[in-house]
Amino acid sequence: MPMIRAEFISGKSEEQKRELIEALTRETARVLGVREESVWVVLQEVEAENWGVAGKRLSDR
Amino acid sequence: MPMIRAEFISGKSEEQKRELIEALTRETARVLGVREESVWVVLQEVEAENWGVAGKRLSDR
Amino acid sequence: MPMIRAEFISGKSEEQKRELIEALTRETARVLGVREESVWVVLQEVEAENWGVAGKRLSDR
Amino acid sequence: MPMIRAEFISGKSEEQKRELIEALTRETARVLGVREESVWVVLQEVEAENWGVAGKRLSDR
Amino acid sequence: MPMIRAEFISGKSEEQKRELIEALTRETARVLGVREESVWVVLQEVEAENWGVAGKRLSDR
Amino acid sequence: MPMIRAEFISGKSEEQKRELIEALTRETARVLGVREESVWVVLQEVEAENWGVAGKRLSDR
């Protein structure tokens, strides 16, 4: 049943996204003691202009 | 006040999206005993490459 | 794969929560043309003091 | 540590998005008594066709 | 229609939560040019043991 | 900047939660090529009665 949601700045490669899903699934199943088949992972890519830290958009830094 | 968020793989038709909003609103209002006017529904379409099950991207299955 | 998240003010009965999960699953599967087994529903109960509309907490109205 | 997520109908200007990140950061830091550097803001723009109120899509109203 | 979600470590006062809802509503309405009545704010309080930064739980720092 | 959110059925031990934050942070930083200090992880524990699969609450299975 675990649901893992990963939000990060868009621009990562297909290979990185594939590996991130695999790694987050493996570690979640291992630590929580559940089957990998029961783990969902959703990647949410966010434009730098839509992510602010300390009041500034990452696209403006 | 209920807020319903529906996440699913992108590619559904306009008519399906219209009907999903209508159905989720109707059932939520009916079961929770609130007015339909007070129910918000947000649809979040996710690319198959960004949704993983059992460590694999749906686009890779 | 659809994930449905329902947020509402806490205080609903066990029976309402059971029926809401059933109804949201049924309608999502029907409209999107997927198996009910592939639909997850998560209920998120929010205290009235933590939900604001028009700048006022629902617990203060 | 605060994380602020703002969801709204797409179509706002770059300047509005910049100002919204700045204003939400400033007020969160002020009210919660934390440094602005510790506040993240993520803007989530939603198409009018994917946002329903009272069972109708905003794009259909 | 804007929905603002604020996540922060639990332990803030009732007065801070009331003021945060008011401030986030006011600024969102002002910047996006919408009525305050159309802005929802949900506060999500997170236990320090459930929030990690740099791999460490805030409760362990 | 990555934000990782892990939702799972409540009842896991303190040690599991500590290890999950550490593992999700490590793998996210490794795969996305960012510093661990820039990764936030939020754990969201959900009661079995509030999580439905195939229309049934996990607490009813």
D18 in contact with E, Cβ within 8 Å: no
The answer as to whether B56 is a domain residue is no
D1 in contact with F, Cβ within 8 Å: yes
C-alpha–C-alpha distance, residues C11 and F36, integer Å: 40
Catalytic residue, from C2, C4, C17, C20: name it.
C2
Residues facing A24 on adjacent strands: none
Q: Are A9 and A51 in contact (CB under 8 A)?
A: yes
Average pLDDT over residues B10-20: 97
Q: Which chain C residues have a beta carbon less than 8 Å from that of E13?
A: none
Residue B30, domain extent: 3-45
C-alpha–C-alpha distance, residues B3 and C23, integer Å: 15
Residue stretches of chain A with pLDDT short of 70: none
C-alpha–C-alpha distance, residues D5 and D39, integer Å: 11
Q: Which chain E residues have a beta carbon less than 8 Å from that of B40?
A: 1, 3, 40
pLDDT number for residue A13: 97
Average pLDDT over residues B39-55: 97
Q: Which chain B residues have a beta carbon less than 8 Å from that of E3?
A: 3, 40, 42
Domain CATH code at residue C22: 3.30.429.10
pLDDT number for residue C8: 98
Residue D42 or residue D60, greater confidence: D42
- Subunits in contact with chain D (3 or more CB pairs closer than 8 Å): A, B, E, F
Structural tokens at position A23:
């790694």
Mean pLDDT by 10 residues, chain F (61 residues): 96 97 98 97 97 95 80
The answer as to whether B60 is a domain residue is no
Residue A48 or residue B61, greater confidence: A48
The pLDDT-based confidence of D1 (bands split at 50, 70, 90) is confident
Average pLDDT over residues D12-21: 97
Judged against a pLDDT cut of 90, whether residue E7 lies above it is answered with: yes
Judged against a pLDDT cut of 90, whether residue D61 lies above it is answered with: no
pLDDT number for residue C1: 83
Judged against a pLDDT cut of 90, whether residue D13 lies above it is answered with: yes
Q: Are E41 and E21 in contact (CB under 8 A)?
A: yes
pLDDT number for residue E44: 98
Domains: count for chain F: 1
Cβ atoms within 10 Å, residue B26 = 15
A41 in contact with F, Cβ within 8 Å: no
Residue stretches of chain C with pLDDT short of 50: none
Query: pLDDT tens for residues E8-59?
Result: 999 999 999 999 999 999 999 999 999 999 999 999 999 999 999 999 999 9
Q: Rg of chain A over CA atoms, in angstroms? A: 14
The pLDDT-based confidence of E61 (bands split at 50, 70, 90) is confident
Sheet with strand A51-53: strands edge to edge: A56-57, A51-53, D40-46, D3-9, E3-9, E40-46, C51-53, C56-57
